[in-house]
Amino acid sequence: MKRFSSALAVASTLILASSAARAAGAKLLITNVVVSPVAAESIAIYNPGNTAVDLSDYYLSDYNAYYTIVTTSPTKPPSGDFVVQFPPGSSIGPGEQQWISIGGGACFQSACGATSGWMGFKTLPAYQFPNATAADLATGVPLMVDPLNGTGISTSRGLTDDGELVVLFYWDKNGGTNLVSDVDYVPFGTLSSSNPAVDKTSAAPALAYLPDTAPASQQTAPLSAKGTNVTSNTCRVLPFSEGTQKTTGGNGVTGGDETSEDFATTFKACAAVTPGDIDGDGVLDAADMCPTQAGTAANHGCPAGSGSSSSSSSSSSSSSSSSSSSSAATSGATSGASSGAAGTSGSSSSAVTSGAAGTGGNGGNGGAATGSGVASASGAGGAGGTQGGEGGILGSTGTSVIPNGTGVGGSDGLGEGSTVTPDDAGCTCEVAGGEPRTPWGALGLLGVACALAATRRRAR
Ligand SMILES: [Ca+2]
Ligand SMILES: [Ca+2]
Ligand SMILES: [Ca+2]
């Protein structure tokens, strides 16, 4: 009995140790920054992981000495700047994007009642800064918290139109940690002596931080021009990536150096941002099965088969030249739309077969493994059409579910997973080369994005 309880103690120690390790913060991305007009000022964050992240210990700042928050006498942000904390218990789901409004939720949604120019984003943010003008706030939108007893949020706080920085950081205050971890960081526009880059290289506590990239060597994200009816923004390029950011030797939550990112490449000067629709394809995130790939409503927000060569799928240009994609869709439609026949359904005594090739249309779907007792049934989508077919539908072996089949790429190089859940953590959106069996496969971010869509779909 004694041995049993000591074994329990060891087990619980291990559990505690592993949960403490997890408490070090998760990787999130800053994906959008809006600097103008004042009513539109906002920041978007994105969770690229596959689990929800508790934001209670996460902070946002546009102040380069944000890290002094861990000291007994933190440096007060100067006029125009802020250090804010996410509300207790707030969280961001896997694959979710959330917007933080600096000007207040009512301004974010409807431009504070402006009657000309930019008219608001027509949707509410996830959070809003507290604001002395009550009319600027939206009812029901959680307020960001001032972590510095009334001095963290300057009344004139805001993002400098010419450029400054935004940093998302993690600090395990109640865990006694005396260092911050950079979760993500983006300097944008033109920095200046009054809005300098982050550099914790010589920051107190002495020698505790690893060197940040020298400010003179840091890149900046490009901002779009200001205009009467438009917002000025920078947007992380799709598919989301941190480019050549150093993955070791830095002060980031994952050990990387957030100040080393090639921001001039990983961000672009976007003319518009669309809160609630990450990829701006007109299909809102909640209904978009490919929320980080611009697609079509007819294809549930996923890219339609382009009919073009699939040989250079790795470039994944996100420049969304709508004219070329629409012309490609036209040629696909006019070249024939006969889909291949579906494969044969499997049973306990017969194997499933692949779908037949379509003649200019979609490939046939893989056969459904409907019989209980069919092991590893994996109907492959037919190849040869403008789109690959869907993977076969799941089978079952008594109590255990067999994963869906994998969609095999059609002549366009794209394959599609089965639409039936539970699936294999792939997705129903089309993926170059066919749907990955696992979300963390060689397809990288594209596969991850699709897997997240599948996760969200299952959660509904
Ligand atoms: Ca500022
Ligand atoms: Ca980064
Ligand atoms: Ca989409």
Q: Residue 305's pLDDT is what?
A: 54
Over residues 127-134, the mean pLDDT reads 92
Q: Whose atoms come closest to the Cα of 318: which ligand? A: 3
Q: Residue 274's pLDDT is what?
A: 96
CB contact set of 339 (below 8 Å; sequence gap of 6+): 358, 361, 362, 363, 364, 385, 389
Higher confidence at residue 365 or residue 38?
A: 38
- Dist. CA 168 → ligand 2 center (Å): 10
Report whether 302 contacts 430 (CB < 8 A).
Answer: yes
The DSSP element (H or E) to which 100 belongs, if any, is strand 97-101
Q: pTM of this prediction?
A: 0.67
User: Residue 297: is its pLDDT beyond 80?
Assistant: yes
Report whether 392 contacts 352 (CB < 8 A).
Answer: yes
User: Residue 362: is its pLDDT beyond 70?
Assistant: no
- Dist. CA 395 → ligand 2 center (Å): 42
Over residues 420-430, the mean pLDDT reads 42
Q: Whose atoms come closest to the Cα of 192: which ligand? A: 1
Q: Whose atoms come closest to the Cα of 84: which ligand? A: 1
Higher confidence at residue 93 or residue 397?
A: 93
Which of 409, 416, 407, 410 minimizes the C-alpha distance to 433?
A: 409
- Dist. CA 49 → ligand 2 center (Å): 14
- Dist. CA 294 → ligand 3 center (Å): 4
Q: Whose atoms come closest to the Cα of 251: which ligand? A: 2
| Residues 298-348 pLDDT 10s | 888 888 753 222 333 333 333 333 332 222 222 222 222 334 444 444 433
Q: Residue 206's pLDDT is what?
A: 59
- Dist. CA 197 → ligand 2 center (Å): 14
Which of 22, 95, 87 minimizes the C-alpha distance to 60?
A: 87
- Dist. CA 231 → ligand 2 center (Å): 23
Q: Residue 337's pLDDT is what?
A: 34
- In 126-229, alpha helices (H): none
The DSSP element (H or E) to which 31 belongs, if any, is strand 29-36
CA 356 to mean position of chain CA atoms = 36
Q: Whose atoms come closest to the Cα of 245: which ligand? A: 2
Q: Whose atoms come closest to the Cα of 167: which ligand? A: 2
- In 81-223, alpha helices (H): 105-110
Task: State the virtual CA torsion across 192, 195, 197, 203 in degrees, nearest 10.
Answer: 120
- Dist. CA 227 → ligand 2 center (Å): 28
Distance CA(338)–CA(332), nearest Å, equals 11
CA distance to 9, 16, 307, 325, 339, per residue, from 361 (Å)? 62, 55, 10, 17, 5
Q: Whose atoms come closest to the Cα of 254: which ligand? A: 2
User: Residue 242: is its pLDDT beyond 90?
Assistant: yes
Lowest mean pLDDT segment, chosen from 14-28, 116-130, 244-258: 14-28
Query: What is the sign, positive or negative, of the torsion defined by CA atoms of 126, 131, 135, 140?
Result: positive
- Dist. CA 276 → ligand 1 center (Å): 25
Q: Whose atoms come closest to the Cα of 238: which ligand? A: 3
Here the tokens at position 446 are: 């594209």
- Dist. CA 364 → ligand 2 center (Å): 42
Q: Residue 439's pLDDT is what?
A: 30
Over residues 425-429, the mean pLDDT reads 47
